[in-house]
Structure 1
Amino acid sequence: MLDMGYAAYQQTAVEGKAAGADVHKLVLMLFDGFLDELERAVGHINAKKFDRKAQSVERLLRILGGLEASLDREHGGELAENMAQLYQHCGQSLVQASFRNDISYLDSVKTVMTNLQQGWKGLGSLN
């Protein structure tokens, strides 16, 4: 029961932040949430909590879908296409990690997403 209350609190906090955020902050929130959830997925695989792992992987794939949907492919050109390919690579690695219960597939995902998060933070400091 406590888990449900905490989850509701987290959801409310995230929705509150998102309501007042600009696009840059929203994308940064997606990166932050992704990396937090990725750590949980690693923990679930290591603890052999496969039902929770599946839930984490589902959340991660939804976040990747949100990031990919936010790309402006019409005006983003090669950069948007490269970002889409990175997101697809991460999605495929997540599925492999989940299927095989092997966290080694998540190393490149963490590296890619951390680098993108840091780059996105850097863009914010230019404004």
Structure 2
Amino acid sequence: MSYATRRSPGARGIAHTYSNIGLETEVLSASPEKLITLLLDGARAAIARAKLYMEEGNIPARGQSISKALDIIENGLKACLDMEKGGEIAVNLRNVYELASHSLLLANLNADIERLDVADRLLADIADAWRAVTGKGS
């Protein structure tokens, strides 16, 4: 294999780079409401990938996808909550995020697709409600 062949990212690599640039541009120009939508969508996409990897028996990739979903929930969605201003709604969202995180941890520990589905449904319900309240769809 030549040096040029090894260094060339190929079509998949180029598409991945282009996708990352597109996402970065979207994030940098997004309103706070749109950012929450992007976080919810990102967590759900990571869960969907984890489910595929679980079905394939790809344990490392499953773990990486679940870790990504957990990171988005814990360091993105949960971290954005203003517990003082948000009152009961913020408390309820925090509880749902904690339940989703717990389900993801159990899914990874026990290779349990049903737990992935629980976490995804929880986030889907929040995403639907968020879009309805903010009018911020895709």
Q: Which residue of 2 aligns with 1:7?
A: 16
Q: Which of 4, 25, 36 in structure 2 is aligned with 1:16?
A: 25
1:65-91 CA deviation, whole Å, 9 max, x = no partner?
110001111111111011111101111
1:12-44 CA deviation, whole Å, 9 max, x = no partner?
211100111000000001111111111111000
Identity over aligned pairs, percent: 27
What is the distance in 1 between the residues matched to 2:70 and 2:16?
19
The gaps in structure 2 that reach 5 residues or longer are 1-8
2:131 equivalent to 1:121? yes
The alignment yields a C-alpha RMSD, in angstroms, of 1.5
What is the distance in 1 between the residues matched to 2:50 and 2:21?
22
Q: Which residue of 2 aligns with 1:54?
A: 63
2:88 equivalent to 1:78? yes
Q: Which residue of 2 aligns with 1:35?
A: 44
The gaps in structure 1 that reach 5 residues or longer are none
Report the alpha carbon displacement of residue 103 of structure 1 after superposing the two structures with TM: 0.5
Question: Larger C-alpha radius of gyration, 1 or 2?
Answer: 2
How many pairs were matched up? 126
What is the distance in 1 between the residues matched to 2:86 and 2:37?
18
TM-score, normalised by the number of residues in structure 2: 0.85
Q: Which of 5, 25, 34 in structure 1 is aligned with 2:34?
A: 25
Report the alpha carbon displacement of residue 4 of structure 1 after superposing the two structures with TM: 4.4
TM-score, normalised by the number of residues in structure 1: 0.91
What is the distance in 2 between the residues matched to 1:35 and 1:78?
24
